């Protein structure tokens, strides 16, 4: 599969040689030519009502974007490109914003990690491993495969029939304190209405949602609004006009996919959609030598307030804050690893960020 930046129409998805011309989408032409997600109006209307309630309650509001975006290759999607992000940065940061009194509009990739439930999700601490069932039948001793008669694993239906519906499910004693503190924070946030979630899957849904939430919901929060753009957003996409309607067929040799560039939306976000807000983007690199120059370049090009640079393999224990006041960057580091200290780097990031946001509001 070869990915080359973007020729002009059609068909871009083909089993033939790539073309050599380039299509650049401005934000305006992107939104004029690509389809809005069907749930957009509903999502934005409920977010707007929620932001209004937060403003009335006197809270500052942060939009946290989180998780990766997909790029579908067919209109009837069978295949798509994706990226590595599990949404750890976004979900963890959202918790620390909430603990600092912010209301969090959490815009995340469907099924990526979410605040609070992230502690017991995926493979980190599988939730079922935290629980115990009273009167669980003793497990048979494992026997060697040669001597043991083969016993079929019990099916889910058999298990269900054997279990007393009044059986007590308890939390393993060694995990109770942690689960209780996560649960307490989660319940408090639920009662307070300070967390609202919106989901996307594709890069197209991400772009439409970000623009609409900025223009029609976050704008209500004025200078109290903060953008924390931690989602891993694809740089390339396939316009719907160039997509194959049906599943791409094999049998014609190599597959060449020529993608267009996703429009740079940070400048319109900063200048037009959300002119009064404090905007923080993340810059991800795998080459440490590029991190600072690329972060500075983003700041210069898009005119927003802060870039937080992170390198793929060290992102959980160090990041660099790059702003106009500190163009050489200010490093934020965990002294010891997360496992050793029990601390998460997002706690330090949010502490620092909240200070900068408050200073910026005060300076206005």
If one asks whether residue 86 binds ligand 9Z3 (CB under 6 A), the answer comes out as yes
If one asks whether residue 282 binds ligand 9Z3 (CB under 6 A), the answer comes out as yes
Of 12-20, 187-195, 281-289, 324-332, which part binds ligand 9Z3 (CB under 6 A)? 281-289
Report the alpha-carbon distance of residue 40 to residue 213 in Å, rounded.
9
Could you tell me which of 75, 1, 6 has the C-alpha nearest to residue 235? 6
> Binding residue for ligand 9Z3 (CB under 6 A) from 23, 88, 114, 202?
88
Burial of 221 (0-12, 13-18, 19+ CB in 10 A): buried
> Binding residue for ligand 9Z3 (CB under 6 A) from 119, 283, 304, 317?
283
Report the alpha-carbon distance of residue 324 to residue 155 in Å, rounded.
61
If one asks whether residue 34 binds ligand 9Z3 (CB under 6 A), the answer comes out as no
**Residues β-bridged to residue 279:** 227
Within 310-339, the residues that bind ligand 9Z3 by CB under 6 A are: 310, 315
If one asks whether residue 87 binds ligand 9Z3 (CB under 6 A), the answer comes out as yes
How near is the Cβ of 7 to ligand 9Z3 at its closest, in Å?
Answer: 22
> Binding residue for ligand 9Z3 (CB under 6 A) from 61, 212, 230, 349?
230
If one asks whether residue 71 binds ligand 9Z3 (CB under 6 A), the answer comes out as no
Report the alpha-carbon distance of residue 236 to residue 3 in Å, rounded.
9
| Nearer to ligand 9Z3 (CB atom), residue 220 or residue 299 | 299
Report the alpha-carbon distance of residue 171 to residue 194 in Å, rounded.
28
If one asks whether residue 232 binds ligand 9Z3 (CB under 6 A), the answer comes out as yes
How near is the Cβ of 83 to ligand 9Z3 at its closest, in Å?
Answer: 8
Which residues are CB-contacts of 329 (< 8 A; sequence separation ≥ 6)? 292, 295, 309, 320, 321, 322
How near is the Cβ of 334 to ligand 9Z3 at its closest, in Å?
Answer: 14
If one asks whether residue 114 binds ligand 9Z3 (CB under 6 A), the answer comes out as no
Torsion of CA 338, 117, 197, 357, to 10 degrees: -30
Burial of 277 (0-12, 13-18, 19+ CB in 10 A): buried
How near is the Cβ of 66 to ligand 9Z3 at its closest, in Å?
Answer: 7
Cβ neighbours of 308 (radius 10 Å): 25
Question: By the criterion CB under 6 A, which residues form the site for ligand 9Z3?
Answer: 85-89, 229-230, 232-233, 281-284, 310, 315
């Amino acid at each position: 599969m070869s990915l080359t930046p973007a020729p002009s129409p059609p068909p871009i998805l083909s089993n033939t040689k790539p073309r050599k011309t380039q299509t650049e989408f401005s934000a305006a032409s992107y939104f004029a030519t690509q389809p809005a997600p069907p749930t957009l109006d509903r999502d934005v209307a409920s977010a707007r009502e929620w932001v209004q309630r937060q403003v009335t309650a006197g809270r500052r509001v942060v939009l946290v974007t989180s998780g990766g975006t997909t790029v579908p290759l067919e209109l009837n999607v069978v295949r798509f490109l994706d990226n590595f992000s599990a949404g750890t940065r976004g979900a963890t940061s959202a918790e620390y914003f909430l603990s600092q009194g912010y209301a969090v509009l959490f815009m995340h990739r469907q099924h990526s990690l979410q605040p609070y439930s992230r502690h017991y999700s995926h493979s980190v601490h599988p939730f079922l491993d935290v629980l115990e069932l009273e009167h669980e039948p003793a497990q048979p001793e494992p026997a060697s495969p040669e001597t043991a008669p083969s016993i079929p694993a019990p099916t889910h239906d058999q298990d269900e029939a054997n279990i007393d519906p009044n059986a007590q499910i308890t939390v393993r004693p060694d995990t109770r304190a942690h689960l209780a503190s996560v649960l307490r924070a989660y319940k408090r946030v639920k009662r307070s209405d300070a967390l609202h979630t919106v989901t996307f899957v594709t890069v197209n849904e991400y772009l439409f949602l970000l623009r609409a939430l900025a223009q029609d919901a976050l704008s209500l929060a004025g200078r109290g609004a903060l953008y924390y753009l931690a989602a891993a957003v694809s740089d390339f996409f396939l316009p719907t006009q160039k997509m194959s309607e049906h599943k791409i067929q094999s049998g014609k040799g190599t597959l060449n996919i020529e993608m267009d560039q996703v429009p740079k939306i940070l400048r319109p976000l900063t200048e037009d959609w959300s002119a009064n807000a404090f905007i923080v983007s993340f810059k991800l690199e795998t080459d440490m030598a590029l991190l600072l120059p690329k972060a500075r370049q983003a700041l210069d090009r898009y005119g927003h307030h802060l870039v937080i640079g992170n390198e793929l393999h060290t992102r959980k224990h160090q990041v660099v804050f790059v702003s106009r006041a500190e163009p050489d960057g200010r490093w934020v580091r965990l002294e010891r690893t997360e496992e050793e200290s029990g601390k998460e780097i997002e706690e330090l990031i949010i502490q620092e960020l909240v200070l900068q946001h408050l200073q910026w509001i005060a300076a206005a």
